[in-house]
Amino acid sequence: MKVTKAVIPAAGLGTRVLPATKAMPKEMLTIVDKPAIQYIVEEAVNSGITDILIITNRGKGVIEDHFDRCPELEERLLASGKQDVYDEVVSISKLANIYFIRQKETKGLGHAVNCARSFVGNEPFAVLYGDDVIIGDDPACGQLIRAYEKYGKAAVGIKAVPETDIHKYSSLKVEHLEDNLFSCTDMVEKPQRPEDVLSLYSILGRCVLTPNIFDILDNTAPGAGGEIQLTDAMRCLAQTVGITGVDYTGKRYDMGDKLGILQATVEIALKNPNLGEAFKAYLKEIVPTL
Ligand code: UTP
């Protein structure tokens, strides 16, 4: 079955980015000239997704406004002859069919994804974590969708993380299949002891799930940090039918982390057709002074 639906969980509290995220959702933090979540929606659309459910909560209404029309602003832009900016602003509201639902309590990523059950129905669907921006020529979500279509199993985006950091991530038991694809048969969330580490491969930012995940989530007890972990539900899929791991191409930026935000800003600014050259010249000027 073709994957046309995506879910973007964006209801986290963003405590690692405080005080910026006290009133502003981290998904709306700007990278150069667009909020992080717009890069994510564009990646989904470029992967063939037509319908997107964004999971929000209190205080995140600004995300809805961003994907809505804005008649007053549009009129002003047209009246002042700013046709290019007008076109860009209007195009944001036409990227996809975008829906919103609130996660009423912040009970974890697994709990957030479970809010998407009625939107998803009985179809496979993509999950794009709202604070992970991935930039690359071949959209990461599309790479996972191809892996799902080829192997018929849920697919997760994976990357090797440093040994010293694996306790902050999930750890996967993997076997190489071909190219950048792996078969994954087990996983553990935030392994605290060295003997719990299955490999340095971790799920980062993207997955394509089968709808049976919802029944599994219904029966998933709170795990690491007292939250309902998506990884715990995915482990059940991995152990029973297996999951495909995709070591996707593309650079991931963690917008839930202050250093990640700075890296995204610098690297994406350097690639910007209007600002890139001037920004590079500025960096060359200040780097020798460091
Ligand atoms: P994170 O664990 O990185 O987000 O979840 P967080 O809880 O905001 O992080 P802290 O507070 O800085 O540690 C990954 C994604 O899942 C969403 C987040 O918005 C983020 O996009 N999420 C997390 C939810 O939608 N609901 C939750 O209950 C938890």
Q: What is the block-wise mean pLDDT of the chain (290 residues), using blocks of 10 residues? A: 96 95 95 97 98 95 96 96 96 97 96 98 97 97 98 97 94 96 95 94 97 97 91 95 97 96 98 97 96
**Confidence (pLDDT) at 129:** 97
Ligand 1 centre to CA of 104 (Å) is: 14
CA distances from 178 to 147, 151, 182, 202, 244 (A): 11, 12, 7, 18, 11
**Confidence (pLDDT) at 41:** 98
**Confidence (pLDDT) at 30:** 96
The answer to whether the CB of 135 falls within 8 A of the CB of 268 is yes
* Distance of alpha carbon 201 from alpha carbon 128, whole angstroms: 18
Q: Ligand 1 pocket by C-beta < 6 Å: which residues?
A: 9-16, 55, 103, 106-109, 111-112, 129-131, 256
Other CB atoms within 10 Å distance of the CB of residue 29: 21
Q: What single letter denotes the amino acid at residue 181? A: L
**Confidence (pLDDT) at 224:** 81
* Distance of alpha carbon 152 from alpha carbon 143, whole angstroms: 14
pTM metric for this prediction: 0.96
Residues composing the chain = 290
**Confidence (pLDDT) at 2:** 92
